[in-house]
Amino acid sequence: MLSNHFAASLVYVSVAVLALIIFLYLFEFVTRYKCWHEIKKGNLAVAMATGGKIFGICNIFRFSIEANETVYASLTWATFGFALLLAAYFLFEFLTPVFRIDDEIQKDNRAVGFIAMVIAAALSYVIGATVA
């Protein structure tokens, strides 16, 4: 079935979207705020941070799909890449002792939301290169 390029594309995208939903849920679980509730309220900082996470996760999948022969291998490496991205999130929170990242993002501090977005996007390229 995966020898057909259209079917393979559908399978890879379906797996990536499902994993994206699961990975975003895990991010939602570890943040101190409810992403979609804050976004609904118009919190731009949360929207930027969440957008960075979405881009980061999808970018890691991109690298993983390009580098691996099977859907299973791609998913395995993308999951590992997500774990690294999640670890980087905790490291970012830990290395910023002046204030709590989650609290500032929840307060709609757009500067912190922007930095969180850029960090997630930038690290996804580094992490992506390691899963390739």
Q: What is the pLDDT of residue 95?
A: 84
Q: What is the pLDDT of residue 94?
A: 85
Domain positions in the chain are 5-131
Instruction: List the chain pLDDT tens, one digit each, 132 residues.
Output: 568 889 989 999 999 999 999 999 999 988 889 999 999 999 999 999 999 999 999 999 999 999 998 999 999 999 999 999 999 988 988 888 888 999 999 999 999 999 999 999 999 999 999 987
DSSP string, 8-28: HHHHHHHHHHHHHHHHHHHHH
Q: What is the pLDDT of residue 93?
A: 84
pTM to 2 decimal places: 0.91
Q: What is the CA radius of gyration of the chain?
A: 16
DSSP string, 58-91: HHHHHHHHHH-SSHHHHHHHHHHHHHHHHHHHHH
Q: What is the pLDDT of residue 92?
A: 87
